[in-house]
Amino acid sequence: MNKPVIVLGAGGHASVLVDMLRSQGIVPLALVAPTASAPRAVFADISLWHDEAKILAYRPHEVELVNGIGSLPGNSLRTELFARYQGLGYRFARVISPQATVSAYAELGEGVQVMAGAIIQAGVRIGANSIINSGAIVEHDCHLAGDNHVAPGAVLSGGVVTGERVHIGTRAAVIQGISIGADAVVGAGATLTRALGVKQIAYVARSSVMPIK
Ligand SMILES: CC(C)(COP(=O)(O)OP(=O)(O)OC[C@H]1O[C@@H](n2cnc3c(N)ncnc32)[C@H](O)[C@@H]1OP(=O)(O)O)[C@@H](O)C(=O)NCCC(=O)NCCS
C-alpha cells in the first residue's frame, strides 16, 4: 500500500485491521465512524472523522480504503459501504496478516481480509470484500463469492462453493464439495454435511443446559 489508507469503522473489527496494518508499518490517515466508540489503544494517534463526507475530499486514486466494519448475519452495513465507495471509484486494499498462510495459487478479490492464523490453500478463490477470520481454514479449491465471512476457527474442507454474503459461523465445519447458497448462514459450531440453499440457516442442536450444583 503506497497511498494513504482510510479505515471505515472504529470498532472491534477495525481495531484488528489497524493492528495488522501497524505490524506492516502502515498507520492509517483516519478512521471514519459517525459516533465515538470505546477508546482503544491501537487507535491512539489516528484521527477519527465523524463526517463521512471527509473521504470525498480525496479523489479515488489518491487514497485506499479499508473496510473496518465487521460482519454478522443480518447486518448489511459492511456490504453496503463497500458497494457505495466502489461505485464512487474508490478502491479497497486487501489486508493480510503476516501470520496467515496464503497459497501463491489462491486468488483473493478486492478488499479481502485474512486474519492471523488463517490458512488458505491452493486453488482457492475468495470474492471481494470477504473476511477469512482468525484461525479459519479454507482448503484447496474452495470457491467463495463476494461478501462472505468465514468466522474464527471455521473449517471449509476442499471444494466448497458459496454464493454471495454467506456467513460460516465461529468453529463451524463444512465437509468437502458442499455448496452453500447466497445469504445462507452456518451457525457457530455447526457441522454441515449437505448443501444449504439460498437464505437457509443450519444450526447445531442446542446442548443440554444444567444448573451447576
Ligand atoms: C446461528 C445464529 C445466526 C442464530 O442467530 P439467531 O437466529 O439470532 O438465534 P438466537 O440467538 O435468537 O437463538 C435462537 C435459539 O437458537 C440457539 N442458537 C443460536 N445459535 C446457535 C448455534 N450456533 N448453535 C446452537 N444453538 C444456537 C439459541 O440458544 C436459541 O435457543 P433457545 O430458543 O432454546 O434459547 C447465531 O447464533 C450464530 O451462530 N451466529 C454466528 C456467530 C459468529 O460466527 N460470530 C463471528 C463473530 S467474528
pLDDT digits (tens, 9 = 90+) for 116-168: 999 999 999 999 999 999 999 999 999 999 999 999 999 999 999 999 999 99
Burial 110-135 (b: 16+ CB within 10 A, else e): ebbbbbbbbbbbebbbbbbbbbbbbb
Residue 67, all three cell numbers: 473496510
pLDDT band at residue 37 using 50, 70 and 90 as cut-offs: confident
Average pLDDT over residues 100-109: 98
Residue nearest to atom 38 of ligand 1 (CA): 187
- The amino acid at residue 37 is S
Note the pLDDT of residue 12: 96
Give the residue, 213 or 2, on which the prediction is more confident. Answer: 2
Q: d(Cα 161, Cα 18) in Å, to the nearest integer? A: 30
Could you say which architecture CATH assigns to the domain 95-203?
3 Solenoid (2.160)
Distance of alpha carbon 91 from the chain centroid: 16
Instruction: Give 12 Cα–ligand 1 centroid separation in angstroms.
Output: 20
pLDDT, tens digit, for every residue of 168-180? 999 999 999 999 9
Task: Report CA 72 to chain centroid distance, whole Å.
Answer: 10
51-77 pLDDT, tens digit per residue, is 999 999 999 999 999 999 999 999 999
Beta strand pairing call for 119-120 and 155-156: unpaired
- Atom nearest to 170 CA in ligand 1: 44
pLDDT tens per residue across span 15-36 = 999 999 999 999 999 999 998 7
Annotation: CATH topology of 5-93: Rossmann fold (3.40.50)
The preferred substitution site among 16, 78, 185, 203 for testing ligand 1, maximizing ligand atoms within 8 Å of CB, is 203
Three-class SS of residue 171?
coil
CA pseudo-torsion sign 131, 5, 104, 79: positive
The share of the chain scoring above pLDDT 90, in percent, equals 92
Q: Measured in angstroms, how far is the CA atom of residue 185 from the centroid of ligand 1?
A: 10
Residue 99, all three cell numbers? 501470520
Indicate the Cα dihedral angle 171, 172, 176, 182, nearest 10°.
-130
CA of 189 to the centre of ligand 1 (A): 10
- Could you give the CA distance from residue 148 to residue 168 in angstroms, rounded to a whole number? 8
Instruction: Please indicate whether the domains covering 5-93 and 95-203 agree at the CATH topology level.
Output: no
Is it the case that residue 1 has pLDDT exceeding 80?
Answer: no
**Identity (one letter) of the amino acid at 155?**
V
- Specify whether the CB–CB gap between 109 and 162 falls below 8 A: no
Query: What CA–CA distance (Å, rounded) separates 62 from 4?
Result: 7
- Distances 212 to 188, 205, 209 between C-alpha atoms, Å: 24, 21, 9
Q: Residue 19, Cα to own-chain centre: how many angstroms?
A: 15
Written as nine digits, the cell of 171 is 468453529
Would the pLDDT of 206 be above 80? Answer: no
Tell me the three cell numbers of residue 115.
486474519
pLDDT for 105:
98
Q: Can you give the residue ranges of every domain in the chain?
A: 5-93, 95-203
Q: Is the CB of 133 under 6 A from ligand 1?
A: yes
Measure the CA–CA gap between 30 and 9, rounded to whole angstroms.
10
Is residue 205 scored above 90 in pLDDT? no
